[in-house]
Structure 1
């Protein structure tokens, strides 16, 4: 009896493996693949997703569409993907917030285990910026001036749980400045608020900020990443005496849980191949972006480690929903 049971289990596993392999072999069929960006157009997530969509489409011989579904710091778009069919035709271009949103709010409309990591797209350095009219030339001077004046600093973000939101929280924790977080729907919008003088500071990806810094519309105060080769004159937060203010804008693809592993592995391979293409490398190098070359297991561990690390920031800053 036991031998028959073991044989039946083995046959069942083999059948399941064969079905998954067949699903990946036939994927994608003549049907578009949608990459959902949970932010408005113009931010780093949107820009990188569109770069990869073209290269992935060419490799998989499929039509890859980027669809923006902004709102609630990325939760609206993530919830949409969490409710999608697990067939490999809908992916989420997720940011840091995807691993931390549930730490901040209890009413997240989907469970974390309804989506799972597929591939890293890239890590973009973040730059803390202010309006050129600000007399401070770096973050250290901003802190000194704010403490002398006693005024509260308005720090715009791309929404609750976004990378700028975490940068603002880290700045508040490490400097003790009085700060008010002002949420917007995208990186483009929170940066525009600083350019227009509606807010004092923000932090956004180098892909968004560097062109505006070079055009004289923004002033760089520091980069929160380990290096910024494209603009070596901009000091790191560590160099300015704030080593604990450290975070990059990472972006990765997620899929609805239940999507065949073979399909996710195939997408991961397509992303890694795209990350080494001249088109991607040439587009990312001017902004010091590290392209995604992680295998799926490595990316899974990366997201787990980020959740553990950033959970400490959530608690220390008492981060709350917008």
Structure 2
């Protein structure tokens, strides 16, 4: 009996030592500041969502989160930096639709899609279809019908693969709109082109579009997401107007380098979700036209898969390529 007790005690001691060794091998995360790389310039929808997520997640995790802007290459510069970072939970990417669509339209890519792992959804800014304030059409149906007459309309984008480019692609391939695509370097240039009546229409993130709409400088024809914008509920969605395939938004999520431990990914996802459910942060985002989302890793993975399929269909239908 004494031998049995000795064996049992030895086994218990070994288990305790193993548990201690495992804990030492996997130190608590995070133990130092975290970086979030934004592949856009400061001040836009993606940047604003990144800073809101960083603020809330930092409080949940108990460590500083530093937001760094690395614009360029249609998000490839910042995304490549994260894809090639150590998968240790201290570098994350604030992702957007371009992170999914770039490999579909660009001839070469510095990293593979699989080099980045989805972590969490932050939020989204629905795209708003915009025309001059005195345009004669009151909704998307009238705009599409008018475009089919004569030579069609000039539609401004922020470049190949930009969100306005995808909006125009759906309008053309799904609903027969006759649009001549005019690429500009940024969404602000596209807005100015509509204001100056150099083009007939564009679409832009709600955070950018709403000030022009509320001031009467531009007319909004539709919100291109699945629900009305909290800050401007009087604008109906494209789906409500009968254009259910027009489902495009300026969204922001979090991706991590491939190989980042699942426990870290789960903890970051929970922190971002908590941030988006913080009343102060959520209300601040809604006030400027951004819808906070949050959710789990699983729900974001599902969103990414659906977005990849949806955008891929538009790329194929339009032959969209980055020249």
2-side partners of 1:218 and 1:42: how far apart?
A: 21
Shift of the 59–232 alpha-carbon distance from structure 1 to 2, 3 Å rule, reads closer
Aligned to 1:212: 212
Q: Does 1:117 align with 2:121?
A: no
Q: Distance in 2 between matches of 1:215 and 1:94?
A: 31
The aligned residue for residue 257 of structure 1 is 258
Aligned-pair CA distance for 1:239: 3.3
Q: Do 1:271 and 1:292's aligned partners in 2 also have CA atoms closer than 8 Å? A: no
CA distance in structure 2 between the partners assigned to 1:274 and 1:20 by the alignment: 30
Unpaired runs of 5+ in structure 1?
1-10
Aligned to 1:65: 66
Q: Which moved more, 1:312-321 or 1:282-291?
A: 282-291
Shift of 1:274: 0.6
Normalization by structure 2: what TM-score? 0.84
When structure 1 is superposed on structure 2, of 142-151 and 299-308 the one drifting more is: 142-151
- Size of the alignment, in residue pairs? 304
Displaced runs of 4+ in structure 1, greater than 6 A?
none
Matches within 5 A, 1:78-117: 78-117=79-118
Taking the aligned partners of 2:25 and 2:125, their CA distance within structure 1 comes to 34
SS of match in other structure, 1:148 = coil
**Alignment check: 8 A CA contact 1:156 1:201 kept:** no
Relative to the length of structure 1, the TM-score reads: 0.85
Deviation at 1:145, TM superposition (A): 2.9
Q: CA deviation at 1:152?
A: 4.0
Counterpart-to-counterpart distance in 1, 2:156 and 2:162 = 13
CA deviation string 1:37-91 (max 9, x = no partner): 1122232111111122222222223222222222232122211211222222221
d(CA) in 1 for partners of 2:245, 2:297: 28
Provide closer, same or farther for how the CA distance between residues 165 and 71 of structure 1 changes in structure 2, counting only shifts above 3 A.
farther
Structure 2 unaligned blocks of 5 or more? 1-14
Q: Write the distance in 2 (CA, Å) between the matches of 1:33 and 1:191.
A: 35
The 3 A distance-change label for structure 1 pair 256 and 160 is farther
CA spacing shift, 1:63–1:200, aligned 2, 3 Å: farther
Instruction: Indicate yes or no: 2:181 matched with 1:180.
Output: yes
Which structure would you say has the larger Rg? 2
Coordinate RMSD, CA, aligned: 2.6
Q: How does 1:185-196 map to 2 (within 5 A)?
A: 185=186, 187-196=187-196
Aligned to 1:271: 272
Q: Output the CA distance in 1 between the equivalents of 2:215 and 2:77.
A: 33
Structure 2 residue 231 is matched with structure 1 residue 230: yes
Partner of 1:74: 75
Shift of the 88–162 alpha-carbon distance from structure 1 to 2, 3 Å rule, reads farther
> In structure 1, how many angstroms separate the alpha carbons of the residues matched to 2:200 and 2:65?
38
Deviations 1:166-189 (A, max 9, x none): 11211221233132141424x445
